[in-house]
Structure 1
């Protein structure tokens, strides 16, 4: 590979990193209410998810442990968040499941093969199995997933809403 090719490849990586860092900065600034390069630690999961990452609760705790101050202040500083999140996005960690995997999960829950789940069924599964959803998370999910006329979740439609297009 010649010098020109190496420079071009390096330029592509630099450009990708610059794009990623701009996305991270923009997302962080939305929650930096006091414009002082910090956000409330409780907002970090929202920022991370807005960037297309869906870590589990345990993974989220690991992230927070990595970027929190030694003496926790309740705030996360941008200078600690940016390098960790840049690395996370470059390594494509915590990516959401593809649509076909989400559909398979719904098929397992829909044992009768009806093509839908009742809101009550979905609530039971999501709040009692695995990493249980909180009531607030469940309400948010149902507001997006449930057909208001029938009270059902047509999961084929909902699975496509749950996937995030690659940037």
Structure 2
């Protein structure tokens, strides 16, 4: 890595940027303001965003420096991810959206899905889970007595509202609301000259 890149100053301007930088630094094992591109998805999802793998690849393409392939510098990561969050991209689904999705998968309205059904859906449709992700989900979702997923209970477990300080999108909204209004656009010299001509 180029020594100059390590020394790029990365100013932290607000609480949102501090939270993003803190998450990034957990994976900055060399302490040089860079992370391996393979960590980008983990960092972004750890912040509370829910991008697909294709969207993670779009982020990487947008911020990877061709001079240092395979790594991402905080100076590129921070403003890009702050903008994504400020625009509410990759925001998690609401409880209502999740419930509607489960109802679609449960046309008989039984209130649960079988373990087999969930496993098939999660590994074959949409963006498939790997086995570790599936096992982690099923550990929380499966009722040990019935071996089914009672989805309203599962949604309630997932959706405990984090305090506002922990919700990255609410933090972004607060930071945006606290920004001072932009200054008026600068006047062009020609407008001063016209004003002077009018005055004389």
**Normalising by the residue count of structure 2, what TM-score does the alignment of the two structures yield?**
0.69
Deviation at 1:72, TM superposition (A): 5.8
Q: Cα deviations across residues 4-62 of structure 1 (Å, max 9, x unaligned)?
A: xxxxxxxxxxxxx6010011011111111222211221211111112121112221111
Q: Which residue of structure 2 lines up, in the alignment, with residue 148 of structure 1? A: 144
Alpha carbon RMSD of aligned pairs, Å? 1.8
Q: Which residue of structure 2 lines up, in the alignment, with residue 109 of structure 1? A: 105
Aligned length: 151
Distance in 2 (alpha carbons) for counterparts of 1:159 and 1:42: 29
Name segments (4+ residues, structure 1) moved above 4 Å: none
Deviation at 1:150, TM superposition (A): 2.8
Q: 2:134 aligns with which of 132, 138, 160?
A: 138
Matched ranges for 1:1-167 at <5 A: 18-70=14-66, 73-163=69-159, 165=162, 166=167, 167=170
**Normalising by the residue count of structure 1, what TM-score does the alignment of the two structures yield?**
0.81
Structure with max Cα Rg? 2
- Greater helix content: 1
Deviation at 1:71, TM superposition (A): 5.0
Unmatched 5+ stretches in structure 2: 1-12, 171-200
Cα 1:93–1:114 change in 2 (3 A) is: same
Distance in 1 (alpha carbons) for counterparts of 2:145 and 2:43: 33
Distance in 1 (alpha carbons) for counterparts of 2:149 and 2:71: 37
Q: Cα deviations across residues 74-109 of structure 1 (Å, max 9, x unaligned)?
A: 222111110101111111111111100101111111
Distance in 1 (alpha carbons) for counterparts of 2:132 and 2:71: 22
